Structure 1
Amino acid sequence: MIKTRCSTGKSHGKIILMGEHAVVHGEPSIALPFPAVEMTATVCEAEGPLTIDCSYYNGIAAEMPEILESMRTAIQSALAELQVSDENLAISLASTIPAERGMGSSAAVSVALTRALFAYFDKQLDQATLLRLVNISEKVAHGNPSGLDAATASGEAPLFYIKGQPFEAFPLNLKAYMIVGDTGVTGQTKEAVASIAMKLNGANPQPYRDAITRLGGLAQTAKSAIEANDPQQLGQLMNQAHEVLSFLEVSSPDLDRLVSAALSAGALGAKLTGGGRGGCMIALASTRSEAEKVEEAIRQAGAIRTWIYQMGGNEDA
């Protein structure tokens, strides 16, 4: 039996710690790689037109529904860069990243696909080319993407980022645990981004401009708190950020309920993460046992999935 030639590409999820929404408007943001959830794309030799097999669609790529347009764009961009045809290829995707939850699933798809296609055609792929190609499909998915999702889905270090400036990787020198809770409600990143843009261009923009600036300042201070290994301060900054994001109307009753439950269970801080209006929230705890209490509380409050992520420092009880 002749073995079919295949290549794979991998990526992982991301969690925005601070600065979501503000980053689109030139303020700093902090994103963390989230390897608890991951994406694998496999490209195999096949006969006939390009086919796609993923959880949303299984069939000929040319007939993919419009909702998968960013995936189609990612494939087309990579093939155009490689200067190859899309004939005689079969692509499959396997993912544990929940879609539309602010974990960067669309960027992770594009990163994994691009890596797999370059590997299949035995071409080198540098980080700059990867991010340029992924940004093309992210524009389809999100309208005005910051680029942060793509950089975090493809990298290993936390990133401090200001749009238009190089990503600044820094060590996650924080002895703490992050709890992630999924509301089970689809996040609405594109709509939330557009809603804030309308407020900033409306009749009374100043309070909203001030809110965006405040989110940027909180992200800047959060980086210092991480570098100083100060989970208590980081928790307070997370609480303040959630208040500002609520003012900008990108939270939701489900997110607020999980945030309140986390704080009542002793979390150092809690906030929404990502685009908001659904999706996920995050909370901070000093020890694993405290993190497990918070995790149980947000499950009781309605989280459909939870994860605990050891951020850095030594393992403890």
Structure 2
Amino acid sequence: MLARASTAALAQAVRRPLLAHSAAMLATAAGDVQPIKNVTVFGSGLMGAGIVQVSAQAGCQVTMVDVTPDALAKGEKIILSSLKRTAKKKYAEDAAGAQSFVDQIMANIHQSTEGAQAATKADLVVEAIVENLTVKQKLFAALDEAAPKHTIFASNTSSLKIADIAEATQRRDRFAGLHFFNPVPQMKLVEVIRTRDTSDVVFNSLLQFCRDLKKAPVSCKDTPGFIVNRLLVPYLMEAVRIVERGEASIADVDTAMKLGAGYPMGPFELADFVGLDTVKFIIDGWYTNGDGLKGKELVAPSKLLNDLVAAGKLGRKSGEGFYNYAQK
């Protein structure tokens, strides 16, 4: 009994500091978190509409902003179509329940063409507009004037440096990247990009926001392509180079990667899905001005890719890219 008591006492004595250390570590990891209940999303394309949808589904009040009513109408159509598919699965035999599900989420979504003034109540602004540094900086400069001081700014850019975009503002400590993946409602991953200036509170708040959206956040420094695209785009380009060198056909490369590596899509199918103009934009930017990537063969431009983009063959969205979808 004495031996047992001594062992138990020793275990308890050791356990106390370990528990205290674990609690302290958890508190440090969590940090202070700023509640995000009001979200403004700039851009109503596939990405912007998807971010609006998942934010509204999480119970946030969301304002979707674009330059014209027609653009907003297209974004609303994207959201409604996605929600109806979800509702059909969730309420297979309950039409009223399905409609109520859609209506409740749509009630959280508002629309605006007022530009930066649409963010006057925002806890978080997410930008999902054209991949052009100057255009993004112009938007955030205006937002810096219009948004409350507590508002967090985030860009959904997939290829530009977050710090470069943040230079247009006076709140670089409240600026970060939130890189969602398409289609946003289905894809679980969000890359949370932290610059040298991003504060702990902002970083932790964005991690928690992603969890509230039922997403899985990963953190990354402000490096070209972050994690996924830094690995994915060179992989796509090496597939293109294999075909350019005549070593294998497009179809055989795709089949090899699907059946040999277990990928759901081959590299050419994936490039067509992403958009060949998007892939070219990323490659051109990295090759000419990418930190640590400038002039590297890894991201060298491709004549095959350039010719397809010049011909307007951009992938699925144009009906033809590496494959002809009009014939499928």
| TM-score, length basis structure 1 | 0.27
Name which structure has the greater RCO, CA cutoff 8 Å, separation 6+. 1
Greater strand share, structure number: 1
Larger radius of gyration: 2
| TM-score, length basis structure 2 | 0.26
